[in-house]
Homo-oligomer: A and B are copies of this chain.
Amino acid sequence: MSLIVQKFGGTSVKDAERLRNVASIVTEAYKKGNDVVVVVSAQGDTTDDLIEKAAEITANPSQREMDMLLASGEQISASLLAMCIQDMGFPAVSLTGWQAGFLTSSSHTMARIRRVTPDRIRRELDQKKIVVVCGFQGLSRYEDITTLGRGGSDTSAVAIAASLNADLCQIFTDVEGVFTADPRKVPNAIKLKEISYDEMLELATLGAQVLNNRSVEMAKKYNIELEVLSSYTRVPGTIVKENVKMEKMLISGVAKDTDVARLSITCVPDRPGMVFKLFSKLAAKKINVDVILQSVGRHNTKDIAFTVAKGKGAEAKEICEQFAASVGAESVDYNDTVAKVSIVGAGMESHAGVAAKMFEALYDKQINIRMIATSEIKVSVIIDVDDADKAVKAIHEKFFPETVD
């Protein structure tokens, strides 16, 4: 007998039919003698509908009230799923975030889980119940309802798995696992049997969007085995764990991220503290900077370029312009028609020439590279957004030449 945590996203629970499908997956695991905890997101477009309702009221809703509003979404899906499981003849109970013991920070709309106290969950499991938990939400120490931000349900699931010392945490989505590239764009993308936490982390950060980043970090920290699989088919997915057998592949995937804006400041005086000044200002505004590049400019100056999410582009540009004026830099350039394409793979640590192979693929297609950044297991390039899909395909073909059905 094992303890399994299963997480289902909004599409998987969007209506009565999909809920019945989820209930049958859950009860199958239960019938095999497992203890089952289910974590659900809000149904389909519920969250967007609620955001729309708030938008009709005010352009600047308080985040505390937004959390109160949005948390109703999972309360609906969780109770409906519990009813559905009961209707199939199995005992079930739904729990809100606070009932399930989620204590979080008080940063509303982007709270962090501080602690899970799963006493109530354990009590219900002891009574042989299937426990359906509202993902994405918790309670602050002020007894206010908080949410973890988009994708937070993955993190909820991993946190419960960690607190209960679960044997497996299954994340059900609308794809069958982690692929070497987006299978909708690259027809011969290959589904991976296994992938390491680090590779998965790089892929998540790079816009593969299969798993929420924080959830993978947490799984790595507590060594929780994850399985990414589809709620539509009943085939094994991709296992995410610490030690992965190399499948004779140099890289585990090619990912694309189009939510990128590139900023560059030219001719910044080459004095100490320049970079610190700029990036501390960005950090103060909570702007996450991704790729950073510094190059030597003319006459004792340097050029600084970096990327941010598009939503933060305008704000970042303003900061850059103030900075440029204050230090006497030449100009600020802003471009949000770019994309980041990356390859990820633990294999590249031990194999030379992986980056070169990627650049060759881009050169073959005459795609211009604007920025390059590398880490131990990743190579990213910033290119024109119009070239992005072509680039992913070309790189994938270079690394996975054989066609796989």
- Chain A residues close to B by CB (< 8 Å): 15-16, 19-20, 50, 53-54, 56-58, 60-62, 64-66, 68-69, 71-73, 75-76, 78-80, 82-84, 86-87, 93-94, 96, 99, 120, 143-145
Interface centre among A69, A75, A83 (most CB of B within 10 A): A83
Known contacts A58-B87, A143-B99; is A72 also within 8 Å of B76 by CB?
A: yes
Interface centre among A60, A65, A73 (most CB of B within 10 A): A65
Q: Specify the chain B residue showing the minimal Cβ separation from A59.
A: B87
Q: Specify the chain B residue showing the minimal Cβ separation from A20.
A: B57
Q: How many copies does the complex hold?
A: 2
Are B57 and A68 interface neighbours, CB within 8 A? no
Are B87 and A79 interface neighbours, CB within 8 A? no
By a CB distance below 8 angstroms, the chain B residues around A58 are 83-84, 86-87
Q: Specify the chain B residue showing the minimal Cβ separation from A64.
A: B93
Are B62 and A86 interface neighbours, CB within 8 A? yes
Q: Specify the chain B residue showing the minimal Cβ separation from A143.
A: B99
Complex CA gap A20/B15 in Å reads 32
Q: Specify the chain B residue showing the minimal Cβ separation from A78.
A: B68
Give which listed residue, B15, B73, B80, B120, contacts A54 with CB less than 8 A. Answer: B80
By a CB distance below 8 angstroms, the chain B residues around A54 are 79-80, 83
Are A75 and B69 interface neighbours, CB within 8 A? yes
By a CB distance below 8 angstroms, the chain B residues around A143 are 99, 120
Known contacts A50-B76, A53-B80; is A86 also within 8 Å of B65 by CB?
A: yes
CB distance from A98 to the nearest CB of B (A): 9
Give which listed residue, B16, B79, B145, contacts A69 with CB less than 8 A. Answer: B79
Complex CA gap A154/B82 in Å reads 30
Are B62 and A68 interface neighbours, CB within 8 A? no
Are B71 and A83 interface neighbours, CB within 8 A? no
Are B62 and A82 interface neighbours, CB within 8 A? yes
Q: A60-B87, A75-B75 are in contact. List 11 more A-B contacts (CB 8 A).
A: A15-B56, A16-B57, A50-B76, A54-B80, A58-B87, A61-B86, A65-B79, A65-B82, A66-B79, A68-B79, A69-B76
Interface centre among A15, A68, A87, A120 (most CB of B within 10 A): A68
CB distance from A73 to the nearest CB of B (A): 8
Complex CA gap A75/B145 in Å reads 11
Are B87 and A57 interface neighbours, CB within 8 A? yes
Q: Specify the chain B residue showing the minimal Cβ separation from A55.
A: B16
Complex CA gap A347/B75 in Å reads 50
By a CB distance below 8 angstroms, the chain B residues around A66 are 79, 83
Are B61 and A69 interface neighbours, CB within 8 A? no
Interface centre among A50, A76, A144 (most CB of B within 10 A): A76
